[in-house]
């Protein structure tokens, strides 16, 4: 009997993970564990990032008539770009996410400008090469990251095409955020409002002072990183260096230093409505502070996400 191909097994687990996440998405909203699932907060926090993304697309609209969005999830980026007249193709491993993407495109009346494909990016080629390749949080789910990019450059993107990637930049919370949260949790008032049970469920820790267990177990906990994503993560993800070495960087920006991590922790772990309300009020100030701090490389290394706008180096 032939040994099962480990790469194929990992992909199957990855697809299962994202299908499961799509199935559970409503219940995640019902008990938000993550700022990304809390619409009013998420919108405020990601606004600077979305503003940059739209500025770059709009600023290059004469050059961008078509795009492929790698790991498109529910297709939101394709939908937004199709509304700007760009022919948008989204591909994703999860059939359930693709179903949602197609349904949403129909609901928004843009199905004629969007195509969605369920499958592995590495096994797929568009009919025609496109002007822009995008990935919003998906490239890091490709275990052979370098090969994956080479495949996309060779088969998906026109030779003079552009790339716009938003990907994780640093795993875990910045030290300043951890220190602040632990101080709060251990304070007399923190002990009353901190949702310890939920914190332990999410982190797998048994006390505030024990380190989290390794996340490479066989579990399919959708609160953790996906099976293929786990393979990618190192302590500090050197995407910035990688992109600078291989591509011409037209623009790069870093996002989410304090506001997202702390919101994640506060909104979820704080049971008090009052504190959540105060947090909401303080949030715009924190987002502005993040934007200011993240101009400094000292903080950039701890930014949760980076945005890179790239093109091939002239010699490549
Ligand atoms: C973090 S989600 C991001 C989804 C979406 N871009 C967004 O912004 O919401 C990563 C996505 O990558 C997809 N993915 C992972 N590996 C893939 C592969 N080899 N081919 C296609 N899609 C893949 C997953 O199914 C998942 O939907």
Closest ligand 1 atom number to CA of residue 21: 27
* Fold (CATH) for 6-172+226-312: Rossmann fold (3.40.50)
72 Cα–ligand 1 center, Å:
6
Q: Please give the torsion angle defined by the CA atoms of residues 214, 220, 221 and 222, in that order, rounded to the nearest 10 degrees.
A: 120
- Ranges of the chain with pLDDT below 50: 316
Ligand 1 pocket at CB < 6 A: 14, 18, 71-73, 91-94, 97, 120-122, 136-138, 141-142, 228
Mutate to test the pocket of ligand 1, among 138, 143, 166, 304 (most ligand atoms within 8 A of CB): 138
- pLDDT score, position 116: 98
Closest ligand 1 atom number to CA of residue 229: 15
161 Cα–ligand 1 center, Å:
21
Strands 305-312 and 247-255: antiparallel
Closest to 75 in 3D by CA, of 18, 152, 123: 18
- pLDDT score, position 90: 98
39 CB burial (10 A radius; 0-12, 13-18, 19+): exposed
Q: In angstroms, rounded to a whole number, what is the distance separating the alpha carbons of residues 191 and 184? A: 8
312 CB burial (10 A radius; 0-12, 13-18, 19+): middle
Q: pTM for the full model?
A: 0.86
- pLDDT score, position 102: 97
- pLDDT score, position 86: 97
The DSSP string of 42-59 is: HHHHHHHHHHHHHHHHHH
Closest to 122 in 3D by CA, of 99, 96, 154, 97: 154
Q: Please give the torsion angle defined by the CA atoms of residues 298, 259, 36 and 199, in that order, rounded to the nearest 10 degrees.
A: 100
Q: What residues does 247 pair with on adjacent strands?
A: 312
Q: What residues does 115 pair with on adjacent strands?
A: 89
Domain residue limits, the chain: 6-172+226-312
- pLDDT score, position 185: 81
Nearest-5° Cα angle at 11, 10 to 17: 90
Closest to 208 in 3D by CA, of 267, 273, 265, 260: 265
- pLDDT score, position 134: 97
- Residue nearest ligand 1's atom 11 by CA: 71
- pLDDT score, position 151: 93
């Amino acid at each position: 009997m032939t040994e099962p191909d480990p790469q194929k097994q990992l992909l199957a687990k990855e697809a299962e993970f994202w299908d499961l996440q799509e199935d559970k998405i409503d219940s995640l909203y019902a008990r938000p564990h993550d700022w990304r699932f809390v619409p009013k907060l998420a919108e405020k926090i990601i606004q600077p990032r979305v503003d940059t993304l739209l500025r770059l697309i709009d600023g290059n609209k004469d050059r961008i008539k078509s795009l492929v969005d790698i790991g498109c999830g529910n297709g939101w980026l394709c939908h937004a770009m199709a509304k700007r007249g760009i022919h948008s193709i989204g591909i994703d491993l999860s059939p359930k996410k693709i179903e949602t993407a197609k349904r949403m495109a129909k609901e928004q009346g843009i199905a004629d400008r969007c195509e969605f494909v369920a499958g592995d990016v590495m096994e797929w080629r568009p009919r025609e090469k496109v002007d822009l390749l995008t990935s919003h949080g998906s490239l890091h789910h490709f275990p052979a990251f370098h090969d994956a990019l080479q495949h996309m450059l060779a088969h998906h993107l026109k030779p003079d095409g552009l790339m716009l990637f938003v990907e994780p930049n640093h795993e875990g919370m910045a030290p300043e955020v951890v220190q602040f949260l632990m101080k709060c949790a251990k304070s007399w008032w923190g002990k009353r409002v901190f949702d310890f049970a939920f914190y332990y469920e999410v982190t797998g820790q048994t006390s505030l002072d024990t380190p989290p267990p390794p996340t490479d177990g066989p579990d399919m906990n959708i609160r953790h990183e996906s099976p293929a994503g786990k393979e990618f993560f190192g302590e500090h993800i050197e995407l910035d260096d990688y992109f600078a070495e291989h591509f011409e960087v037209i623009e790069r920006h870093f996002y989410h230093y304090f506001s997202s991590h702390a919101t994640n922790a506060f909104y979820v772990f704080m049971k008090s409505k009052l504190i959540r309300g105060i947090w909401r009020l303080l949030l715009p100030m924190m987002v502005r502070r993040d934007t200011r701090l993240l101009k400094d490389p000292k903080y950039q290394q701890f930014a949760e996400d980076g945005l890179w706008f790239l093109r091939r180096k002239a010699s490549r």
